[in-house]
Chains A and B, each alone.
Chain A
C-alpha cells in the first residue's frame, strides 16, 4: 500500500510565536482518492493547507511527493511540483476583468520564454483544450464577472487543472455555492478523481462529505484526532473526533422556561431547506449548535432583522414580529451580540462607554445632546458587573485584550433590559476565565428574557445552556434538555443524521 501513496506528510509542526498550531501531523494522500479534512475553527486546517501550498514553511517534519521530497518555498514552486490549491475565496482564483479563456491559461502567460505579444486565437485554442478536458460547459468569451459563483469556481478549478497536478487541495469549495451548484462541483471532483488526482477536500458540510469522501481525517488542536477509511465511513465518529471527547458533564442548574416569549413557525432560511419551528421562553438559556455553515448565523441575523426569512411567521410576546431592520428589532427588545466582534461589534475609534451606549444613544440623550455622565455611569456598572479589566470606562477598546473586548460587546447589550438576547459565537477568541464570567452573567440575568446562544463548540453549549437545539442544513434537526442529553443522538444530528432522528 505504501507505493501508491502519492503525497506523504511526516511529523509536520508549525508555531506562530508561542502559539503551537500544528503538533506533528502525519498523513498520506493517495492518487484517485478524495481525502476529506475536517476540523473546527483553529484546529490548524488552514495552516496545513498554507504549508502544502508553499505560503508558509513548516518548522519541523517533512513532505514528499511520490519519491521526491517536497518543500516549496513559494506558491509557484508548489504549483510547478504538482500541488495545486483552490482557495476558499473564489475570487482569488480568477481575474474578474478578463474573459474565461484568458483566465483558463493565465498561468501560461506568465512563464519565462513567452513572447511579449500574445495571440488571441492561440489563447482560445489552448483554453478550449483545457475546457473540453475538464468538461467545462461555459462560454469562453464571457467575462468572469458575468459568471455565477459556481461557474467562477469551476473556472478556478479548471485553471488549476491546466497544470496537470498530482495533488489538488480544495479549501471549502462549496461554502458559497447553492446545493445544485455544488452538485456540478462534485461531478468535476469525480472527474478529477477518475483522472488519478489525489484530492484533499476541506469542508464542514456533512452533506458534501457524505457525497465525496473516500476517507476522512479529523483534525483537532493541531493533531490528527482520527482517520476513517473503512467503508461504510463512520461520519459520527469523525465529527466526534473533531469536536473532542471531553463532553458530557455539566454543572449547571437547569432551568425551564416560565412563560413563552418568542415563537416562530414554518421558518425557512434558505432555498431547499426544511422549514422549522422555534419556541423560546423567559428564564431559559437555549443554545443552538451545529457545524460551521449550517445556517446558525443566518438564523441569528434573521431574528435580528438583517435578513428576512423566506417563509414563516414570528411572534414576540404574542404579537407579530417581522423586523425589517436591526433598529426595529432593538425597539422591540431583541438584541444581537453578533459574531466576529471586530467586524460587526466594535467601533474601534470609540472608547468603552461610547461602545456600550452605541445602540441606546437616544435613551442617553436629552434633546439630541448625549449625556456623557449617564453613559459613563452605566458603563461603570457594566464594567464592575462583568469584571472587565481596564483602567476606566474611557479606555480605548484597542487597549483591551480580546476577552475584555468581548465582555464590552456583551455588556453593551446587557446594559438595557431585553425581551430576547441572541449571542452568536460569544466565546470566540475568549479565554476560559472571560468565558466563565460572561456565561455566569448571562445565566444570572436571564430571568425576564429569552436567551439564545449560537455555539459551534458542543462543550460550550453543554456548559451554558438549559436546552440545546441542533442545526444542520439550515434547519433544526434535534432538541435536547441539558439535564439528560443523549450524546450519541446529539452527535449523530450534528453529523447530519436527520433521517435517523425523524425515524
Chain B
C-alpha cells in the first residue's frame, strides 16, 4: 500500500543494492533474531521438560516477571527521553513498606494504601525529574542518590523492622491493623480464563500497563516527542518542545510504575518485608535493555521491554524445571543481557540504524 502511494508523488531513486540489503539474511536476523530465539527456547523447554508447555506454566512465568516487567516498562519511559532511573527498585520497596504502614499501623483501608503508594511514586519521580532538569545533576547520579535515600527512609518509621499484622510497635504496643482482603486480592486473586482461577491479578495489571505504555509511546504525540527529546534534545527544543517537561513526566511515569510494582509486591507477600525486592532494579533494567535488541529497534521500546522480561522469565523457568541450580540464575540473566547488548550495539550500530 505504501509503495503505490509513494510511486505517485515520490521522486523515485531505485537503489537496487539497498533493496537487496533490506531483505538479506543479516537483516532478517537483526529483526527477528531475538523473537526466533525466544520461540526456540520455548520449543526446546517444551520438549526437554515435562509440564513446561501448559497454561499453568505459562501463567507462572508471566507471574514471575510481572513485577519486574512493570518496573521495566517504567524505566523504559526514562530511557526513551535519554535518561535513566536507578531509583525504581527502592521506589517499589518504599511503596511496599508504605502500603504495609498505612494498613497495619495507620489502620486504613486498601484504597488509601494504594493511593498513598501511587502518590509516593509520583512524588519521587517528580523530585528526580526536577533535580535532573533544573539542578542539572546527571540522571544516573541523581537517581542513585535517590535510591540510597529511599532505602534508608523506608526503614525509619519502623526503626528498621519489617511490618506485619500484630507486630510490636516501637512504643511497646501491638499494631492493630491488618492487610485488608481487598488489598491482598491484588496479589492473590486469580481470574478465570478458559480454565478456572488461571490468571493472577498481577499478570492482568502487567498486560494492561504494557499495552498502555506501548500505545502511549508509539501512537500519541507525547510519546513521539519523548523519543525526539531522547534522540536529539536540541532539535526537539528547536521544534518547540518543552524538553524539561517531557523529561520530568518520564520520571513521574517511571516512579508511578515502580510504585505499582511495590503495591503488587506488598499484596503478594502480605507484609512489608525490608529484605525483599533486592533484585528488582537489576532485573528491570536488564529487561528494558534486552528490549533494545527486539525487532532490531536499537532503542528503548515498550514491546521490546515486555519481550525482554518474558525472555528472562522463560529462560529461568525452563532452567529451573531442568534442575539447573538456583545460584546460576544471575549468571544466566547477565549472559543474556551481555549478548543482547552486543547484538544491539555491534550489529545494529554498524548497520547505521
Binding site for B on A (CB under 8 A): 304, 306, 325-327, 329-331, 336, 338, 343-350, 354, 358-359, 361-362, 364-365, 368-370, 380-381, 383-384, 387-394, 396, 398-399, 412
Do A347 and B228 touch across chains, with their CB atoms under 8 A apart? yes
Do B242 and A383 touch across chains, with their CB atoms under 8 A apart? no
Which residue of A361, A393, A396 contacts B353 across the interface (Cβ within 8 Å)? A396
Do A358 and B239 touch across chains, with their CB atoms under 8 A apart? yes
Other 15 A-B pairs with CB < 8 A, given A345-B235, A370-B224, A391-B18: A326-B239, A330-B240, A344-B235, A347-B232, A349-B230, A349-B231, A364-B221, A365-B221, A369-B219, A370-B219, A380-B6, A392-B2, A393-B10, A394-B2, A399-B18
Decide yes or no: A370 and B221 within 8 Å by CB, A380-B10, A392-B3, A398-B352 being known contacts. Answer: yes
Bound Cα distance from A388 to B225, whole angstroms: 24
Decide yes or no: A348 and B221 within 8 Å by CB, A380-B10, A384-B11 being known contacts. Answer: no
The prevalent SS among residues of B at the interface is helix
Q: Which A residues are in CB contact (< 8 Å) with B26? A: none
Bound Cα distance from A346 to B239, whole angstroms: 10
Q: Which B residues are in CB contact (< 8 Å) with A329? A: 240
Question: Looking across the interface, which residue of chain B has its beta carbon closest to that of A354?
Answer: B224
Do A350 and B231 touch across chains, with their CB atoms under 8 A apart? yes
Decide yes or no: A347 and B236 within 8 Å by CB, A368-B222, A392-B3 being known contacts. Answer: yes
Q: Which A residues are in CB contact (< 8 Å) with B6? A: 380, 391-393
Which residue of B15, B18, B220, B227 contacts A350 across the interface (Cβ within 8 Å)? B227
Decide yes or no: A346 and B235 within 8 Å by CB, A330-B240, A380-B9 being known contacts. Answer: yes
The prevalent SS among residues of A at the interface is mixed
Query: At the interface, yes or no: B5 with Cβ under 8 Å from chain A?
Result: yes
Bound Cα distance from A359 to B5, whole angstroms: 24
Decide yes or no: A359 and B240 within 8 Å by CB, A343-B234, A349-B353, A380-B10 being known contacts. Answer: yes
| B327-353 interface bits toward A, Cβ cutoff 8 Å, 1 = contact, 0 = none | 000000000000000000000000011
Bound Cα distance from A369 to B220, whole angstroms: 4
Which 6 A-B pairs rank lowest in CB-CB distance, beginning with the nearest?
A327-B240, A349-B231, A361-B221, A359-B239, A392-B6, A330-B240
Bound Cα distance from A66 to B152, whole angstroms: 69
Q: Which A residues are in CB contact (< 8 Å) with B18? A: 391, 399
Do B240 and A325 touch across chains, with their CB atoms under 8 A apart? yes
Bound Cα distance from A162 to B10, whole angstroms: 61
Which residue of A326, A349, A364, A391 contacts B238 across the interface (Cβ within 8 Å)? A326
Q: Name the interface size band of chain B.
A: 20 to 34
Do A391 and B234 touch across chains, with their CB atoms under 8 A apart? no
Nearest CB in chain B: distance from A227 CB, A? 40
Q: Which A residues are in CB contact (< 8 Å) with B234? A: 343-344
Bound Cα distance from A284 to B221, whole angstroms: 35
A and B contact pairs by CB, cutoff 8 A, 24 listed: A304-B238, A326-B239, A327-B241, A343-B232, A343-B235, A345-B235, A346-B232, A347-B227, A349-B227, A358-B224, A358-B228, A358-B236, A359-B239, A364-B221, A365-B220, A368-B221, A369-B221, A370-B219, A370-B224, A380-B10, A388-B10, A391-B6, A391-B12, A392-B10
Nearest CB in chain B: distance from A356 CB, A? 10
Nearest CB in chain B: distance from A423 CB, A? 13
Do A391 and B13 touch across chains, with their CB atoms under 8 A apart? yes
Do B235 and A347 touch across chains, with their CB atoms under 8 A apart? yes
Do A344 and B11 touch across chains, with their CB atoms under 8 A apart? no
Question: Looking across the interface, which residue of chain A has its beta carbon closest to that of B297?
Answer: A349
Q: Which B residues are in CB contact (< 8 Å) with A349? A: 227, 230-231, 299, 353
Nearest CB in chain A: distance from B330 CB, A? 32
Bound Cα distance from A349 to B299, whole angstroms: 9
Bound Cα distance from A99 to B13, whole angstroms: 58
Decide yes or no: A389 and B240 within 8 Å by CB, A347-B228, A349-B227, A358-B228 being known contacts. Answer: no
Q: Which A residues are in CB contact (< 8 Å) with B176? A: none
Bound Cα distance from A329 to B238, whole angstroms: 10
Q: Which B residues are in CB contact (< 8 Å) with A330? A: 239-240
Decide yes or no: A336 and B13 within 8 Å by CB, A349-B227, A368-B222, A398-B352 being known contacts. Answer: no
Question: Looking across the interface, which residue of chain A has its beta carbon closest to that of B223?
Answer: A370
Do B242 and A361 touch across chains, with their CB atoms under 8 A apart? no
Bound Cα distance from A486 to B218, whole angstroms: 55
Do A347 and B221 touch across chains, with their CB atoms under 8 A apart? no
Nearest CB in chain A: distance from B249 CB, A? 13
Bound Cα distance from A282 to B299, whole angstroms: 43
Nearest CB in chain B: distance from A120 CB, A? 31
| B151-171 interface bits toward A, Cβ cutoff 8 Å, 1 = contact, 0 = none | 000000000000000000000
Q: Which of A326, A331, A347, A362 has the most CB of B within 10 A?
A: A347
Decide yes or no: A388 and B299 within 8 Å by CB, A336-B238, A349-B227, A370-B221 being known contacts. Answer: no
Q: Which B residues are in CB contact (< 8 Å) with A412? A: 239
Bound Cα distance from A390 to B224, whole angstroms: 23
Do B13 and A390 touch across chains, with their CB atoms under 8 A apart? yes
Decide yes or no: A390 and B238 within 8 Å by CB, A349-B227, A350-B231, A370-B224 being known contacts. Answer: no
Which residue of A358, A369, A384 contacts B10 across the interface (Cβ within 8 Å)? A384
Bound Cα distance from A392 to B5, whole angstroms: 9
Q: Which A residues are in CB contact (< 8 Å) with B220? A: 365, 368-370
